C-alpha cells in the first residue's frame, strides 16, 4: 500500500510516523499542517523526527491556518513548539511544493494512493480545490478525528482535529468518504511505557512522547496513560487492529456548541445512504504489541 501521511507533530503524531516507518508500508512522504502547533513548528518537528528516524522521505509544508476559523493550538498538551523530547534542529528543508500541491502530485503519480490524515483536514480540502478529480487518484482516506460513541476532547461535542477546521473536514467528507478513527476507539489506545525497553537517550525521548498528557489532563479523563490517538490509525493499516463500519455521516459547520462534531447515524434513522466509515472497535492488545515491536526496533 502506498501511503502519504498528513500530520501535525504532536507527540502521538511522532509515534504514528515511527510506526509507519518501521512497517512494510510504501511511504511516499509527509505533508504538515498547523494543528498541535504552528505549521512552522509542525514542519520543523516532522523534519527533525525524520532525522531521528533516519528517513529521507520528502516533507511538504502545508496550510498555516484553517479555511475559515481562527487557528487554535494544543501546546499545553504536546509541549512548547508542539513536540516534547527536544529533538535537534533539522538537517534539511521541506520540498518546494505546498502540502496541497504535494498531495495532488503524489496522488496523480501514484493513481491509487492511501492517505492517513492525523491533523486538521485543511490540506486535503485545498488539494480537492486544486484537483477536483482527486478522489479518482486515491484508494482510501483514513482520518484521526471525530468523537463517535464518545464525548469530545476539544469541546463537549467535538474532537480536536475536526474542531480545528470543520469546514475543511466537511469538504473532505463530501468528496472522499473517509474512514474516521475517533475518540471512541483512540482513547483506548494507551500503553504503559514501563512495559517497554526504553533505555538510553533515544528511549527517554520516546518515553516523553508516550507520556505526553500532563497529569492534569490524565486526571480529567480518569486515565493512567496517554492515548496515542494517531498511532491507532497506522496500526489499523499495518496490523488490522480496527473494526470499521459504514455510516451516514455529517460534520457540523454551523456556529454553536456542536461546531466540528462528527454526527454518525448509528440506527439509520435518516434513511440516507452511507457516505463514510467509522472505527467502532480496537484490539488494544494487538495495538500494544505493534507499538512495542516498532518502538523497541528504534531505541
Nearer to ligand BDR, 108 or 149 (CB): 149
Examine residue 182 and tell whether it contacts Ca ion (CB under 5 A). Answer: no
Binding-site member from 42, 161, 235, 238 for ligand BDR (CB under 6 A): 161
> Three-state SS for 158?
coil
- Residue closer to ligand BDR by CB (options 12, 283) is 12
Q: Rounded to whole angstroms, how far apart are CA atoms 219 and 260?
A: 25
Question: Going residue by residue from 68 to 87, which x/- string records binding to ligand BDR, judged by CB under 6 A?
Answer: ------x-------------
Please provide the DSSP assignment of 104-131 as one string: HHHHHHHSSEEEEE-S-SHHHHHHHHH-
Distances (CA, A) of 128 to 5, 37, 100, 216, 239: 16, 24, 8, 39, 29
Task: Enter the C-alpha cell of residue 234.
Answer: 497506522
Residue 81, binding choice from Ca ion, ligand BDR, none, Cβ under 5 to 8 Å by partner class: none
Give the residue, chosen from 101, 165, 230, 252, that forms a contact with ligand BDR under the rule CB under 6 A. 230
Handedness of CA 239, 5, 261, 168 (dihedral sign): negative
State in angstroms the smallest separation of the CB of 242 from ligand BDR.
Answer: 15
Helices 11-21/200-210 angle, 10° precision: 120
Closer residue to Ca ion, CB minimum distance, 229 or 277: 229
Instruction: State in angstroms the smallest separation of the CB of 200 from ligand BDR.
Output: 26
Residue with Cβ nearer Ca ion (13 or 207): 13
251 closest CA partner among 175, 162, 191: 162
* Interface with ligand BDR, residue 153, by CB under 6 A: yes
Per-position x/- string for 8-47, each x denoting binding to Ca ion as judged by CB under 5 A, each - no binding:
x-x--x----------------------------------
CB 184 → ligand BDR: shortest distance, Å? 12
| Footprint on residues 171-200 left by ligand BDR (CB under 6 A) | none
- State how far the Cα of 206 lies from the Cα of 217, in Å rounded to an integer: 19
Please say whether the beta carbons of 43 and 12 come within 8 A. no
Q: Is the N-terminal amide bond of 62 cis, ω within 30° of 0? A: no
Residue 248's closest CA among 280, 281, 273, 267? 273
The catalytic residues are: 229
Site for ligand BDR in 35-64 (CB under 6 A): 36
Q: Of the two residues 231 and 271, which places its CB atom closer to Ca ion in the complex? A: 231
Query: Counting beta carbons within 10 angstroms of the beta carbon of residue 292, is it exposed (0 to 12), middle (13 to 18) or buried (19 or more)?
Result: middle
> Under rule CB under 6 A, which residues in 20-39 are in contact with ligand BDR?
36
Q: Which is nearer to Ca ion, 73 or 188 (CB)?
A: 73
Q: Give CA 282 to chain center in angstroms.
A: 16
3, 4, 6, 10: which one binds ligand BDR (CB under 6 A): 10
Q: Which of residues 118-147 bind ligand BDR (CB under 6 A)?
A: 118-119, 144
**Would you tell me how many other CB atoms lie within 10 Å of the CB of residue 195?**
11
Which residues make up the interface to ligand BDR (CB under 6 A)? 10, 12-13, 36, 74, 118-119, 144, 153, 159-161, 229-230
Contact residues: Ca ion, CB under 5 A: 8, 10, 13, 118-119, 230
Amino acid at each position: 500500500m502506498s501511503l502519504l501521511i498528513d500530520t501535525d507533530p504532536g507527540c502521538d503524531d511522532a509515534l504514528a510516523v515511527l510506526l509507519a516507518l518501521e512497517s512494510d508500508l510504501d511511504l511516499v512522504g509527509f505533508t504538515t499542517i498547523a494543528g498541535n502547533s504552528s505549521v512552522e513548528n509542525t514542519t520543523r518537528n516532522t523534519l527533525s523526527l525524520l532525522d531521528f528516524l533516519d528517513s529521507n522521505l520528502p516533507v511538504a509544508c502545508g496550510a498555516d491556518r484553517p479555511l475559515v476559523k481562527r487557528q487554535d493550538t494544543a501546546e499545553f498538551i504536546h509541549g512548547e513548539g508542539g513536540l516534547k523530547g527536544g529533538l535537534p534542529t533539522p538537517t534539511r528543508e521541506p520540498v518546494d511544493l505546498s502540502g496541497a500541491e504535494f498531495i495532488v502530485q503524489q496522488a496523480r503519480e501514484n493513481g491509487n494512493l492511501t492517505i492517513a490524515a492525523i491533523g486538521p483536514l485543511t490540506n486535503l480540502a485545498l488539494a480537492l480545490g486544486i484537483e477536483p478529480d482527486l478522489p479518482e487518484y486515491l484508494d482510501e482516506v483514513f482520518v484521526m478525528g471525530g468523537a463517535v460513541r464518545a464525548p469530545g476532547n476539544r469541546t463537549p461535542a467535538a474532537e480536536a482535529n475536526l474542531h480545528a477546521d470543520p469546514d475543511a473536514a466537511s469538504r473532505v467528507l463530501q468528496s472522499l468518504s473517509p474512514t474516521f478513527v475517533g475518540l471512541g476507539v483512540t482513547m483506548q489506545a494507551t500503553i504503559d511505557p514501563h512495559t517497554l525497553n526504553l533505555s538510553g537517550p533515544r528511549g527517554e525521548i520516546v518515553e516523553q512522547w508516550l507520556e505526553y498528557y500532563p497529569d492534569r489532563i490524565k486526571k480529567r479523563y480518569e486515565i493512567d496513560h496517554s492515548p496515542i490517538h494517531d498511532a491507532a490509525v497506522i496500526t489499523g493499516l499495518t496490523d488490522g487492529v480496527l473494526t470499521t463500519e459504514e455510516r451516514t455521516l455529517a460534520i457540523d459547520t454551523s456556529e454553536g456548541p456542536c461546531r466540528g462534531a462528527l454526527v454518525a447515524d448509528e440506527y439509520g434513522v435518516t434513511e440516507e445512504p452511507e457516505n463514510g466509515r467509522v472505527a467502532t472497535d480496537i484490539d488494544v492488545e494487538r495495538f500494544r504489541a505493534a507499538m512495542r515491536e516498532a518502538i523497541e526496533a528504534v531505541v
